Amino acid sequence: MQYQNLWAPWRMAYINTMAGHDGAATPPTEQSKACFICEAAKVTVPSDDAGQQLVLLRDKRGLIMLNLYPYVNGHLLVAPLDHTPDLPGMTAPQRADLLELVTLAQSLLQAAINPQGFNIGLNLGRCAGAGLPGHLHAHVVPRWSGDTNYMQTIGRIRVIPEAIQATYTRLRDTLNTLQQTKQ
């Protein structure tokens, strides 16, 4: 499919009026009060709280947790512990830690549910699709041929074939095995 551009330079004035309305400009102390990732970053893993908040791993590098509203089974979120909205707000070691956790998340999903591919990315800012623009997080989404069908395209419904707690248990157990193997 080929796209054509519709040039509308007068819209930039409107876009510029939206600056600061995406949540990223809110001071972290205010935004972190309503931040589900900051809340998840407080739990001890393993614990009942970790299970309830779907946190699989929390260490000095950050956390890996299941997305409560997944695109498909196994949709993971990977985030630093610090409440920061973007990559420039992180130090180089923090960015390296984030990528290490994304790599671990991909390995975990490969071992646990054997997807045929992955979508891995960041949505920075509300207009870019970030539902939580104040706390940077990566999405690690396992994919299979044919996992998108008419239900999502026409019906705007996602079919998730496994209960989220069952997926959590499977991933938690696989992560424990992976970590024991490294020791």
Residue 21 annotated as catalytic: no
In the three-class reduction of DSSP (H, G, I as helix; E, B as strand; rest coil), residue 19 is classed as: coil
Q: Measured on CA atoms in the order 92, 93, 95, 99, is the torsion positive or negative?
A: positive
Q: Which of 75, 135, 137, 139 is catalytic?
A: 137
> What Cα–Cα distance (Å) separates residue 32 from each residue in 83, 124, 129, 138?
7, 17, 19, 18
Calpha distance 167→14 (Å, rounded) = 43
74 touches 112 (CB < 8 A): yes
Residues assigned a catalytic role: 137
